[in-house]
Amino acid sequence: MLTFIKHQSALISQGYQCQVVDYNDPASLQYALGGVDTVISTVKGTPQLRLIEAAVQSRVRRFAPAEFEGQPGLRGQIDVLDRGKTAALALLRHYRGYIQSTVFVCGILYERFSVNGMRSQHMGSNTGYGNEGDFIANPRTMTALAPFWDAGHNLSYLCLTSAHDVAQFVVRALDMPSWPTEMSMCGERMTVNGLLEVIRACRSGFNVALDCQLTS
């Protein structure tokens, strides 16, 4: 709660309007959504499901779930990092006659490889892999656990985009009269090996530990 209040105060100081809501109280959510045209969600799990329900009840026109990753259709049936995303997409499909929705597909954020990880950018604190070195490579310690190949023994590719560019893309999308089911963006597409070579070029002595059992 203290962290939330801290972030709220920072947003208010920048001129943003903030409301405190209770995700266990549908009336609280519906009140906060009164007159809102579009919801860009950053919460997952049960709170997001309740937010979708409240958005439908409040006649919100469009809803973008907290999905900013890869294409949902390419995920495996068992995703340990799902955290309720599949349930949210299913609920939005159920209400598609009442509310528009889209998934912003942006791949991997460059910020995952920044100093102190995504947390340094005030992102990813609840993902379980927002710290420095939590995802594929740790440039500081010069180590990596890298899925070079997918299940078909093909080179694994990554699409990388900066959070700033994702934000600009989403803002431009608000002006679209209607939304497709997915909107994709990509700053750069490269192999996992290519990513490690970029890191190697920046810092010498890179020690790579491979895990070829991982899939794309």
All residue ranges of the chain with pLDDT < 70 are 1-8, 75-82, 125-128, 205-216
Tens of pLDDT, residues 187-200: 999 999 999 888 88
Strand order, beta sheet including 38-40: 38-40, 62-64, 100-101
Cβ pair 84, 48 in contact under 8 A: yes
**What pLDDT score does 211 carry?**
43
- Between the CA of residue 173 and those of 11, 41, 187, 193, 211, what are the distances in Å? 22, 15, 17, 33, 38
Structure tokens at 151: 């299940």
**What pLDDT score does 78 carry?**
55
- End-to-end distance of the chain based on CA atoms, in angstroms? 36
**What pLDDT score does 2 carry?**
33
**What pLDDT score does 7 carry?**
59
> Quick one: which of 208, 191, 210 has its CA closest to 142?
208
**What pLDDT score does 125 carry?**
65
Structure tokens at 182: 């997915």
**What pLDDT score does 215 carry?**
35
